[in-house]
Amino acid sequence: MHIGLIGLGKMGFNMRQRLRDGGVTVTGFDRNPEKTDVASVDELISALPTPRVVWVMVPAGEITDALIRELSEKLSPGDLVIDGGNSRFTEDQKHAALLAEKGIRFADCGVSGGVWGLQNGYGLMVGGSAEDVESAMPVFDALRPEGPREDSFVHVGDVGAGHYAKMVHNGIEYGLMQAYAEGYELLAAKDIIKDVTGTFRAWQKGTVVRSWLLDLAVNALEEDPGLDKIAGWADDSGEGRWTVEEAIANAVPAPAITAALFARFVSRQEDSPAMKMVAALRNQFGGHAVKQAGTDAAQ
C-alpha cells in the first residue's frame, strides 16, 4: 500500500518510519525541507496511486482547516483523507461534508502513543464508514502495536467518533497525571520520605497504580530527581477543555478531569511541585515543550 502523509513533526515523522517499517510505502510532505520527501502537496498527490489515501498529521484548528480545503480542490473522487491530528469531533463532520461535495471520502483517527509510538506502536481510535476504515486497514495495522488488533485498535463509529474517543482518552489522561503529580508533591513535602524516586520506582511492579505513565514519571525523576530544571507550568492543548464541555453538555459528572484541567490553570499563576511533574510527564510521553526553571521560554 502507498499513502501520502502530510505533517512530519514530532508524531508524523515517527509515524512515517513505523509505516515504512511495516511495509507501507509513504510519500511525506512537510514544510521543513530536511524532513520532506517532496517539495509540495501537488507533488505528493502526483506521486500517489489512485484511489489515493492521504493522512493529515498537522496541528488542529486553522492549519487543518486550510489543508482540508486545499485537498478538497486537488484530490479526486474516491480518494480518502484521514485526519490523524487532534481535531475536535465537530470539525470532522464539517471536513467530511466539504470533501463529500467533491466525492472525496473522509475518516478521523485519534492517535495515542506520543514520541514513543515509533518503538511501541500507537493506540488508534477511528471514525468513518466501515468500507473506508477497512480500505485503510493495512495502514492502521502497521501503526498499532503487535498483538491482537482489538487491544490497540477500534472502529468507534461514524465520522467524528474517533476524535471524540481520543478527546475522552486525553481527559482521562489529565486526571491520571494530576493524581501522580499530587502524590509526588505529598511525598516530596514529607521529611521522613528520603527516596521519592525510589518510591515511584517501587510502584512499577505488582501495585494497582502501575502504568506506563508511572514508568514515565520514574524516567523524569531519574533524569531530574527534584524536577529542578522544569518550571511548574503546564499547558493544555484543548482536549481537556473539550472533555469538560462535553461532560457539561451531557450532564455527566466529571470532577476529576475538571479539577485536573483547572489545576493546569493554577500552574500558570505560581510554581507548583505537582505541576512540575505534570510538565515532566507531558514532555516524557509527547515531547511537549517545557519551561526551564527561572525562564519564560518553552523548550
Is residue 138 a contact partner of residue 80, using CB atoms and an 8 Å limit?
no
Residue 62 is a catalytic residue: no
Catalytic residue among 62, 131, 134, 173: 173
Residues 6+ apart with CB under 8 A from 142: 18, 19, 21, 22, 23, 24
163, three cell numbers = 476524535
H-helix or E-strand containing 66? Answer: helix 62-74
> d(Cα 267, Cα 279) in Å, to the nearest integer?
10
Of the candidates 132, 126, 175, the residue with the CA atom closest to the CA atom of residue 153: 126
* Beta strand segments in 7-50, E: 25-29
The residue assigned the cell 475538571 is 258
User: What is the length of the chain?
Assistant: 299
Is residue 170 a contact partner of residue 88, using CB atoms and an 8 Å limit?
no
> d(Cα 11, Cα 67) in Å, to the nearest integer?
18
Residue 173 is a catalytic residue: yes
> d(Cα 212, Cα 285) in Å, to the nearest integer?
9
> d(Cα 286, Cα 275) in Å, to the nearest integer?
16
Catalytic residue among 43, 62, 146, 166: 166
- Residues marked as catalytic: 166, 173
